[in-house]
Amino acid sequence: MTATDTRELEIPPPPKQRMSRGRKFVLGFLILAVLGVGSAIGWILWTDSKIDRIPESDLESLQPAIDGPRTFLVVGTDSRENLPDGLGDHFGNFSGKRTDVMMLVQFLPGERAQILSIPRDLKVQIPDEGTNRVNAALTFGGPDLLVRTIQQNLGVSINHYIEVDFGGFAAIVDALGGVTIDFRYPARDSKSGLDVDAGRQTLDGATALAFARSRHYQELRDGSWTSVAATDIGRTSRQQQILLAMFDKATSPSSAFNLPGFASTVAGNITTDASLDLGVLVSIGRAGLDLRSSDLEARTLPVAISNEGGVSYVVRVEPDAQATLDAFAAGLAFPPA
């Protein structure tokens, strides 16, 4: 540049550095991962918001979970409030709700779980109400009285409460795409509406509900219909069979893509205690996905039918009932049936 040249010296810009394909891939993956985590958290929060929760002041009898496994009281009610039209005319027209299913469920160390069914006609002492069937406690005083009754009569501590009605149960089964049950013989129950052929059958929500509710179960054997386990005790076994089939379906690889919709359906159809928060639900989900139905030990409280003063109950059979309760409370395998 000469003394008379007044132009500024132009400094050329640095050459553009091209991002390698590897770095582009890593950056893109990180962006997608962040978006994916954000979407997952958003979906979890949205799903959690669909759950109907009972205030702590209305469920004071629950015991806080401190150490050891959490115990859940899972209750199915006979409320007809949300019953879809497609479920037919086999459910009657009753107001209010009564307890139709009661199960104590706990996840135990070592990747296993236990389910203890409580027959709804079990004879108990309901606080401030006297002798009655255990399912009457919900009618008398709601979930808190039911929890208190079971704890005082069976000597177990209950940490969480989960409730679902007829319509909710059917919707959950349908969200799974149905459940598979093997029938050795054709089966029916004119009261619940069950009518299935022999062999492996995929039950939709309405049929699964009819099977789980059956108390007048019959099988077609040698050309005639024969009553088989047509009692409240037999019904708890069928309820467990449906629950295990649902568990198998939910944890199968083929259901992986259906899990978000299934989880949302479950959330929209259950009522829980307020302490069953997002963290507990996520931990339950993780534990459940690591299990198979063979890891679930299911048992019905040992009982026998008893008629007292014209009232039909089922009563505990001792010492088997107490041994079963002791094993459940200690997280040990149930004694031989």
Mean pLDDT, the chain, rounded, equals 82
CB count within 10 Å of CB 17 equals 6
Q: 236, exposed or middle or buried, with CB in 10 Å at 0-12, 13-18, 19+?
A: buried
Contacts of 1 (CB under 8 A, 6+ apart): 7, 9
- Rounded to whole angstroms, the Cα distance separating 70 from 158 reads 8
pLDDT at 297 over 80: yes
Give the E-state strand segments of the chain in sequence order: 52-54, 71-77, 99-108, 112-117, 123-126, 130-133, 160-164, 179-183, 187-189, 194-196, 199-203, 218-221, 224-227, 271-273, 296-300, 303-308, 311-316
CATH number of the 67-330 domain: 3.40.630.190
Q: Nearest Cα to 158, choosing from 127, 128, 116, 126?
A: 116
Q: Nearest Cα to 221, choosing from 259, 192, 193, 187?
A: 187
Report the percent of the chain where pLDDT is more than 70.
78
Annotated domain spans of the chain: 67-330
**pTM over cut 0.85:** no
Tens-digit pLDDT profile for residues 150-206: 999 999 999 999 999 888 888 999 998 999 999 999 999 988 889 999 999 999 998
Q: 283: pLDDT confidence band, cut at 50, 70 and 90? A: confident
Query: For residue 48, what are its two tokens?
Result: 């959690």
Average pLDDT over residues 222-227: 95
52-54 and 271-273 beta bridge pairing: parallel
Are 194 and 173 within 8 A, CB to CB?
no
Tens-digit pLDDT profile for residues 85-97: 655 565 555 555 6
Counting Cα atoms < 13 Å in the Cβ hemisphere of 269 gives 25
Average pLDDT over residues 20-32: 49
Higher pLDDT, 212 or 48: 212
